[in-house]
């Protein structure tokens, strides 16, 4: 069992576990799973209508690895992947890991400027990409960016003749290639260390360009494995993964958690699609479902929700942003996910640092992000002094252990801003640790609203508004105010058929339940929130739009002490 130990009274905890850390590389771990569960189903790509056993998937992974070697890719070189969720994404993920190439995940929503930045900043040599996705012409953007990206030597578009040649299984099967091909792959794989960098993931950065969190085999393989351990995964599990592979949620908590346990990965759609996700759970008898809160909200809000048979579900993970209590309760009650787990983390920590357990009380699982993960440490510190605060007091959550990234790619100064000399990762999140070691995230340090000298954490106000019968979702932000410095504004999504709320309605509902200064002054009704591809709310964009909407440009320019 996982336990948490801590000195009495201090907001510090370390996670112990009966299973030791894995010392494998990703390729070696995958090969061991194939040897154990070769005939079991490994992957179902529903949009493509294709299925793989572990043995079949291994043949395709090895074919891609050999194809990359044939094209001159060597250990440490960067291989970019720019595509929505598909089987080929997974093949490239594991093939790159087998030869020691550093996989660079490129956000499917990126435009030309962002693509060019990532290509140049990470020094991508080989880029595997979908030719297009939705309204994005990937091939066209690549062609336009390529002359300005001198490191980019090779581009392979999925579905092209080049891809089919690169991924040909004949060579992997040894039927149409010299034996030296197989020996070259074995030699490349044997030359790898678990501590080698193997993945660069660009954080979504609210200002300026994103930073490339550089992760090792040891980082992400162990994080995927232990996340799966706490979900009690076995080879019998089938995991529906509607979250994007380019993010840790998809490729680590999804793919690596599955392959390290012999479970099956199910791709419901190239990007999040609520009915496709629910249909996939029903048809594939999935036992686990992933999503950020906005995804579960969208699924639960479907008018035909009750027509789907979700009885196969046992567990799943809700993560990516704060999980509303009311939504969590509905996931347990209406989706049969009795063992659903809340995970908290960040890309820089591979990503999971804390997680609820299957046998935690329902109150723990709907009101906290759980306890420290196996073989990790967490603490809550005073942001001003760096000292660990007493349990029950708020502060910045920090984490340390195998999961902390190697650093931001070629940005040592930025790395030093978040990882201190003792290798603690400073998350920028505000949290409170209770006497039993459970952590509650109360907001981001940067999201905190200061109204007339009072610190207000939007999460508290949002949780109250979620209990309003007509509110589907609510997001609270601070907007400029000449008198108080900041005032609260709430963006609200209404349930179908409900009358829009006005500011007086919100005041009436909140009165007597929270302090008067925490009641939002402004209310804005919307159909959707601005979000990243991973489902995170873009509050910076909301604030900018609100300033224009409310005509607060003058207040925005007012200086406050």
- DSSP class per residue in 422-461: T--EEEEEEEEE-TTS-EEEEEETTT-EEETTEEE-HHHH
Radius of gyration of the chain (CA): 24
* CATH number among 3.40.50.300, 1.10.10.60, 3.40.30.10, 3.30.300.30, domain 449-556: 3.30.300.30
C-alpha–C-alpha distance, residues 388 and 381, integer Å: 4
Burial (CB count <10 Å: 0-12, 13-18, 19+), residue 435: exposed
Residue 37 to residues 53, 265, 331, 399, Cα–Cα distance (Å):
9, 14, 31, 35
Q: Token pair 């490129």 is at which residue?
A: 106
Backbone angles phi, psi at 213, to 5 degrees: -70, 120
Domain 23-371 has CATH 3.90.1170.50: no
Cα-based distances in Å from 528 to 127, 164, 387, 524: 33, 40, 40, 11
Contact 431, 438 (CB under 8 A): no
Please tell me the distance from the alpha carbon of residue 226 to that of residue 352, in angstroms, as a whole number.
Answer: 9
Beta carbons of 132 and 82 less than 8 angstroms apart: no
Note the pTM of the prediction, 2 decimals: 0.86
SS3 13: strand
CA 370 vs. chain centroid, Å, equals: 17
Q: For the chain, 561 residues long, give each residue's pLDDT as a single digit of tens.
A: 555 555 559 999 999 999 999 999 999 999 999 999 999 999 999 999 999 999 999 999 999 999 999 999 999 999 999 999 999 999 999 999 999 999 999 999 888 988 999 999 999 999 999 999 999 999 999 999 999 999 999 999 999 999 999 999 876 555 555 555 889 999 999 999 999 999 999 986 444 578 999 999 999 999 999 999 999 999 999 999 999 999 999 999 999 999 999 999 999 999 999 999 999 999 999 999 999 888 999 999 999 999 999 999 999 999 877 677 888 889 999 999 999 999 999 999 999 999 999 999 888 888 899 999 999 999 999 988 999 999 999 999 999 999 999 999 999 999 999 999 999 999 999 999 999 999 998 878 878 788 877 778 788 899 899 999 999 999 999 999 888 889 999 999 999 999 999 999 999 999 989 888 899 999 999 999 998 766 778 888 999 999 999 999 988 875 443
Domain ranges of the chain: 23-371, 449-556
């Amino acid at each position: 069992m996982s336990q948490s130990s801590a000195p009495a009274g201090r907001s510090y905890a370390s996670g112990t576990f009966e299973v030791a850390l894995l010392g494998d590389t990703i390729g070696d771990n995958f090969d061991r799973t194939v040897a154990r569960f070769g005939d079991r189903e490994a992957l179902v790509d529903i949009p493509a209508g294709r299925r793989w056993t572990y043995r079949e998937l291994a043949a395709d992974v090895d074919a891609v690895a050999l194809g990359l070697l044939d094209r001159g890719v060597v250990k440490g070189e960067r291989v970019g992947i720019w595509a929505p969720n598909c089987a080929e994404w997974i093949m490239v993920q594991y093939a790159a890991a087998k030869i020691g190439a550093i996989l660079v995940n490129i956000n499917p929503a990126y435009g030309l400027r962002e693509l060019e930045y990532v290509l140049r900043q990470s020094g991508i040599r080989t880029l595997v990409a979908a030719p297009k996705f939705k309204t994005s012409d990937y091939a066209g953007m690549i062609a336009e960016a390529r002359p300005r990206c001198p490191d980019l030597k090779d581009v392979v578009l999925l579905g092209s003749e080049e891809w089919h040649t690169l991924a040909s299984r004949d060579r992997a099967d040894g039927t149409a290639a010299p034996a030296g091909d197989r020996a070259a792959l074995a030699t490349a794989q044997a030359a790898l260390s678990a501590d080698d960098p193997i993945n660069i993931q660009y954080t979504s950065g609210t200002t300026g360009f994103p930073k490339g969190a550089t992760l090792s085999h040891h980082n992400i393989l162990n994080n995927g494995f232990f996340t799966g351990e706490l979900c009690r995964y076995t080879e019998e599990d089938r995991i529906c993964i509607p979250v994007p592979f380019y993010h840790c949620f998809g490729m680590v908590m999804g793919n690596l958690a599955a392959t390290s346990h012999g479970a099956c990965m199910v791709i419901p759609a190239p990007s999040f699609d609520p009915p496709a996700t629910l249909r996939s759970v029903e048809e594939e008898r999935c036992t686990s479902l992933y999503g950020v809160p906005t995804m579960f909200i969208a699924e639960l809000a479907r008018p035909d929700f009750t027509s789907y048979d979700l009885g196969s579900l046992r567990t799943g993970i809700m993560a990516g942003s704060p999980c509303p209590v009311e939504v969590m309760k509905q996931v347990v009650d209406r989706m049969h996910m009795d063992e659903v787990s809340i995970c908290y983390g960040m890309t820089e920590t591979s990503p999971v640092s804390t997680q609820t357990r299957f046998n935690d009380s329902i109150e723990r699982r709907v009101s906290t992000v759980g306890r420290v993960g196996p073989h990790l440490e967490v603490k809550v510190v005073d942001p001003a002094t760096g000292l660990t605060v007493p349990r029950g007091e708020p502060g910045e959550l920090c984490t340390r252990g195998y999961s902390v990234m190697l650093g931001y790619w070629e940005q040592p100064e930025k790395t030093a801003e978040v990882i201190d000399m003792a290798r603690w990762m400073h998350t920028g999140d505000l949290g409170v640790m209770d006497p039993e070691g459970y952590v509650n995230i109360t907001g981001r340090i940067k999201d905190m609203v200061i109204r007339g000298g009072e610190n207000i954490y939007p999460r508290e106000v949002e949780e109250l508004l979620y209990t309003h019968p007509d509110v589907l979702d609510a997001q609270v932000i601070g907007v400029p105010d000449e008198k108080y410095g900041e005032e609260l504004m709430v963006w609200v999504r209404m349930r179908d058929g409900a009358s829009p709320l006005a500011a007086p309605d919100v005041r009436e509902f909140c009165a007597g339940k929270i302090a008067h200064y925490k009641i939002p002054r402004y209310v804005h009704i919307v159909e959707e929130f601005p979000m990243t591809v991973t489902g995170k709310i873009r509050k910076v964009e909301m604030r900018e739009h609100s300033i224009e909407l409310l005509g607060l440009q003058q207040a925005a320019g007012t200086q406050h002490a």
